Chain A
Amino acid sequence: MLLDYIPVLALMAAAAGLALAFTLMSELLGPKRRSAEKQMPFECGNPSSGNPKRRFSVKFYPLAVLFLLLDIEAVFLYPWATIYRELSQGKGWMMLFGFAEMGLFIALLALALFYAWKKGALEWD
């Protein structure tokens, strides 16, 4: 089981190693002519004004909350989707059970999305 992940780790180690090797090479081969002007933040040629690490618009936070709401569903949806094929081949109650249980869950999610929509959480302006 866990052994399945060794090729994945190997590939990622190789990728990180390659990236590291190339940056080291460019460190060795590239010129190093530092100057105060060159290391200024790029603002289309003007001297930098204000602090770039400012606070940012609140619009991004409701989005993050919405994402959490709708992406947690993956935890419940995927196991169900994986076995749904067997559930749907089941007879009578079994089939209805497989559909109704998660149908209710998805309906609740859709209702939550609808509520957020009506509350204006999806408007960007």
Chain B
Amino acid sequence: MKELLDQLIALAVEKVPLLGQAPDWVFYLLWMLVAGAALLVYASLIAGITSWVERRIAGRMQARIGPNRVGPRGFFQWIADGLKSLFKEDVTPANADKPLFRLAPYLVFTGMFGAWAVLPYSARLYAADLNVGILYVMAITSLVVIGILMGGWASGNKWGLFGALRSSAQIVSYEVPAGLAIATAVALSGSLSLQEMVRAQAGPLGILGWNIFKSPFALVAFFVYFIAAVAEGNRTPFDLPEAESELVAGYNTEYSGMRFVFFFFAEWANLFLIGAVSTTLFLGGWQGPLANPDTWWGVMIGAGWFFLKACFFVFVLIWIRWTLPRLRVDQLMAMCWKYLVPIAFVCLIGTMLWMSVFGDRAFFGLVAVGP
């Protein structure tokens, strides 16, 4: 990236001599904004296309066709929907807390997309490799809770309030097992940086070094993390915050037009995010069955693996959503505190013991891994 940047700067200075007098940080800032915008376009494309994919799969699962009018097989449906909502009225209820009501979608949107900056798309393909990467992901996605609570409360609507309260209770509860399961993965990889975590999962056949195969406890921790992530994303079977049969639409009942779109955009962006983080933590990120060569096409192959693995999770999430019925609130809380949290504790302690006994051996302690 650095060489490309230098070449671009040299070209720009050559074409516009006036730029030569500008200090370096101007170029750096401009480049960062361009990179940020590019990443945002990538994220938006994935979120938009996921919405179409989900509707098509949902249609097939319910023995109907799904959107098929706009473009080939309805592929441009998501663009049409986006354009349509641009021309819709943005209603603010009379007794809403107006500043908070308007601010909430921005928090949800930026919180969700902020996490995309640290995802390890491939060996050398990332926007930022923070040394506290996974903590950053957990921290920035909690902006979403604040946004949801803010939006639901500020709507001045009872459905909105109930939805927001349920959502925050749910997200806050499932943060605990998720945090413990992530700590398990962190211990196995020995780093908080997402790139380092992926690198630590290299192993024979490219698969045996994955964190899920490092100990049986890690395999369970992976499922704990995945269930908690589904719950934190407010997806069925944990979609009580927007349970349409009882709460109309939950926290976004009063939202309309573009602001409504942002909530859903963030939800679809979250699908890929869940997949990407699960992949990074437990399934070897951009590691494929063969070691990726250290060239630009090796990086692209890695990016392909990462994308495929994350998309697999997106499909699983959609599949779960259209298969399982919704839980009750008390079942939801019992599931978290009485099952997932104790299991996550056992996973953490068990993995620690396993690491002490088997050291760095992969595939359940059967295969020796060289550094």
Contact = CB atoms under 8 A, between A and B. Distances in A.
B21 to A, nearest CB: 23
Interface of A: 1, 4-16, 18-20, 22-23, 25-27, 29-34, 36, 38-44, 50, 52-54, 56, 60, 63-64, 66-67, 70-71, 73-74, 77-78, 81-86, 88-89, 95, 99, 102-103, 106, 109-110, 113, 117, 122-125
Contacts of B28: 6
A74 B95 CA distance: 39
Given A13-B36, A19-B110, A88-B359, A42 B159 contact: yes
15 contacts: A4-B128, A6-B29, A8-B114, A14-B36, A14-B37, A14-B39, A19-B109, A26-B90, A30-B89, A31-B87, A39-B91, A53-B153, A71-B179, A73-B180, A88-B359
Interface of B: 28-29, 32-33, 35-37, 39-40, 44, 85-95, 102, 105-106, 109-110, 113-114, 116-118, 127-131, 135-136, 138, 153, 155-161, 165, 168-169, 172-173, 175-176, 179-180, 183-184, 186-192, 248, 253-254, 257-259, 261-262, 329-330, 333-334, 337-338, 341-342, 345, 348-349, 352-353, 355-356, 359-360
Contacts, number: 228
Given A19-B105, A52-B157, A66-B337, A11 B40 contact: yes
Given A7-B128, A63-B173, A122 B359 contact: no
B260 to A, nearest CB: 10
Contacts of B192: 78, 82
Contacts of B172: 63-64, 67
Contacts of A81: 183-184, 186-187
Contact of A11 (B106, B117, B179, B261): B117
B129 A4 contact: yes
A30 B94 CA distance: 19
A42 to B, nearest CB: 6
Contact of B156 (A26, A53, A86, A109): A53
Nearest to A38: B91
B262 A124 contact: no
Main secondary structure of the interface of A (DSSP, over half): helix
A23 B337 contact: no
Given A41-B158, A43-B159, A124-B330, 10 more contacts: A7-B127, A10-B32, A11-B113, A30-B257, A31-B87, A33-B89, A70-B176, A77-B348, A82-B186, A110-B342
